[in-house]
Amino acid sequence: MHVLGIETSCDETGASVVYKGRKICSNITASSLKLHSKYGGVIPEIASRAQLEYINFTVDAALKKAKIKVSDLGLIAVTKGPGLIGSLLVGISFAKTLSFANKIPIIGIDHVHAHMYAPFLEAGSSKKMPKFPLMGLVVSGGHTSLYYFKNFDKFKVLGETLDDAAGEAFDKVAKLLKLGYPGGPLVEKIAQNGNAKAYSFQCGNNDDLNFSFSGIKTAVLYKVRDIERRGKISHRQKSDLAASFQAAAVSSLVNKAMLALSRRKIKTLVVGGGVAANKYFRRKLLEEAAKNSVKVFIAPQYLCTDNAAMIAGLGYQLYRLGKKDNLSFRPILY
């Protein structure tokens, strides 16, 4: 079965064709990032207007690259949330129209769960599929969550962010350091030349599986203000602040993932989301996993950010399990 995936949860317009839930035949993404950069964040109205313009061409490009026609599709999978309501409406409306006109089954997909499916795709870190039961960790701009999975459709949330998500914290620290937007890659880049022990930062809620990043963001704010009272902040100080923040945030993510695995006595972890593209995070996670004999399946970097391949792949698995969706519009919002 060829599945068409459509992803429009935030500022990007994605379309992908995936065969039998694993083989990526095409994966096209049209980004409106340049339109948002000058505002320092995503503007919902701009995002949805760009998606209205892009979606027809993006889906057409995905089908052409996969060398198939609409009539060859066995299923359409579309993001139903969480996300920006205007953006979700664009993707769902297009998918429902395509489904109705061509009599193709349709299924709505949870965007967060789809991030954890990225390592299951053939392009993932292993040619072998992760085995259930397993632990799932999502680290993105809008979500930071730990899941226990018995199967694709049977899961339990073990922990989630109580305030800022990990990616959001990276973006806010980048703004404090005047690095630009999107902040995650910029913090990672400048942190490479910094001293992670220069400043002492910590993340809250160390005793449970929930995450908190607002406190460390505030701590960086106060430290920046303290430095600027004595003069202009230097490039070295920015590098040290970025490195110290990154080390503390990553430590929280890794430690809580290992704690969850230990409590459930599970040795398999799947990881997805934009922050999972961070090389420092990937290295620290793999190092700690090796110490605990944990097998990690982490999405390749180009599948960590929002994409339609993960939507199509998870759609295939859920459809096989008998899941159906008439997609009367009930979006899951950020």
User: Between 205 and 198, whose confidence is greater?
Assistant: 198
pTM for the predicted model, two decimal places: 0.92
User: Could you tell me which residues are beta bridge partners of residue 17?
Assistant: 4, 26
pLDDT band at 187 (very low <50, low <70, confident <90, very high): very high
Residues 16 and 6: their CA atoms lie apart, in Å, by: 7
Least confident of 121-125, 215-219, 308-312: 121-125
CATH 3.30.420.40 intervals, the chain: 2-119+304-320, 132-298
Q: For the domain 132-298, what is the CATH code?
A: 3.30.420.40
Mean pLDDT of 28-56: 85
User: Alpha carbon of 309 to those of 17, 110, 210, 303, 305: distances in Å?
Assistant: 7, 13, 28, 8, 11
Residues 267 and 150: their CA atoms lie apart, in Å, by: 13
pLDDT band at 329 (very low <50, low <70, confident <90, very high): very low
- pLDDT for 334 beyond 70: no
CA nearest neighbour of 140 among 23, 16, 42: 42
* Whether the Cβ atoms of residue 209 and residue 147 lie closer than 8 Å to each other: no
User: Could you tell me which residues are beta bridge partners of residue 197?
Assistant: none
List pLDDT tens digits, range 239-284.
999 999 999 999 999 999 999 999 999 999 999 999 999 999 999 9
Architecture of domain 2-119+304-320: 2-Layer Sandwich (3.30)
User: Alpha carbon of 65 to those of 23, 68, 285, 296: distances in Å?
Assistant: 13, 8, 35, 31
What's the sign of the alpha-carbon dihedral 118, 333, 101, 325? positive
Alpha helices in 192-294 (DSSP H): 214-229, 235-264, 279-291
Residues 237 and 120: their CA atoms lie apart, in Å, by: 40
Residues 310 and 101: their CA atoms lie apart, in Å, by: 24
* For helices 166-176 and 235-264, angle between their N-to-C axes, nearest 10 degrees: 170
